């Protein structure tokens, strides 16, 4: 009964979202600039770490990769991009980031098997989006949702003002791809707690953003290695 009520709630909320969807699409390109930036940085990390073949592969498919990373947020699919760091659940009435990640990752592998590498990279880009979202505190702790958009806009404003989040040439690679979501969620929550008492919003956002963007870059690079190794077996 509880699941039925939750599903009904989700459907009702989705119907309301349709009315504002055109507005969100207008800001989508700006919003996803962060994800595109992280993809490019991750590919650079691969090059700097000596993975020249892997770097060349992803660089040649950056368009499809970034198309997928943008698509992942369209039509309010972002409502499914939450994953509680402890409970492992999404927003009430919706799917969660881990479930959606697994779906996109499996779709990418299926398209590789079918010989459609461009479509495979599209869905892999969507999977990367979720790994990156899992580094954001507001995506892993529902209590922080009220500050979600303000924090995202702050990071975007930094990128648009030519601020460059530094590349740390480290790759975080997981044995199980699902652990990118799970471990990033734990990291995101711990990072927020570490700076929760900082009174200055500018200082707090700066400290948190540097750490989570670096984490997103490192884990995206790791996921890229996982995927490349799997399709090149």
3-state secondary structure of 207: helix
pLDDT given at position 78: 73
pLDDT in tens, 37-87: 999 999 999 999 999 999 999 999 999 999 999 999 886 777 777 899 999
Q: What are phi and psi of 82, to 5 degrees?
A: -110, 145
Select the CATH number that applies to the domain covering 21-232 from these four: 3.40.50.720, 1.25.40.10, 3.40.50.300, 1.10.575.10: 1.10.575.10
**Residues 131-171 pLDDT 10s:** 999 999 988 987 665 666 788 788 877 777 756 677 778 99
Q: Using CB atoms within 10 A of its CB, is residue 41 exposed (0-12), middle (13-18) or buried (19+)?
A: buried
Is the Cβ–Cβ distance between 82 and 91 less than 8 Å? Answer: yes
pLDDT (average), residues 90-107: 92
Q: Which two tokens stand for residue 51?
A: 């993975």
- What is d(CA 115, CA 94) in angstroms, rounded to the nearest whole number? 32
User: Taking the domains of the chain in order of start, what are their residue ranges?
Assistant: 21-232
Q: Tell me: the pLDDT tens digits for 1-41? A: 545 445 544 454 444 344 434 434 444 455 588 899 999 99
Query: At a CB cut-off of 8 Å and minimum separation 6, what does 142 contact?
Result: 82, 84, 91
């Amino acid at each position: 009964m509880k699941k039925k009520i939750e599903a009904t709630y989700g459907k009702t909320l989705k119907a309301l979202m349709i009315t504002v969807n055109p507005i969100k699409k207008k800001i989508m390109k700006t919003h996803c600039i962060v994800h595109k930036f992280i993809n490019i940085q991750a590919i650079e990390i691969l090059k700097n770490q000596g993975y020249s073949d892997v770097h060349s592969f992803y660089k040649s498919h950056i368009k499809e990769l970034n198309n997928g990373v943008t698509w992942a947020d369209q039509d309010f699919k972002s409502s499914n991009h939450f994953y509680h760091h402890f409970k492992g659940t999404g927003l009430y009435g919706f799917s969660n980031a881990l479930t959606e990640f697994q779906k996109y990752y499996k779709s990418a592998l299926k398209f590789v098997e079918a010989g459609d590498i461009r479509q495979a990279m599209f869905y892999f880009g969507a999977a990367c989006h979720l790994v990156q979202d899992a580094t954001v505190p507001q995506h892993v702790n529902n209590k922080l949702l009220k500050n979600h958009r303000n924090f995202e806009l702050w990071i975007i404003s930094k990128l648009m003002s030519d601020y460059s989040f530094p590349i740390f040439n480290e790759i975080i690679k997981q044995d199980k791809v699902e652990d990118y979501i799970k471990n990033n969620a734990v990291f995101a929550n711990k990072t927020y707690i570490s700076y929760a008492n900082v009174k200055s919003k500018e200082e707090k956002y700066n400290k948190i953003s540097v750490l989570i963007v670096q984490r997103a870059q490192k884990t995206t690079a790791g996921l890229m290695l996982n995927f490349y190794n799997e399709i090149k077996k």
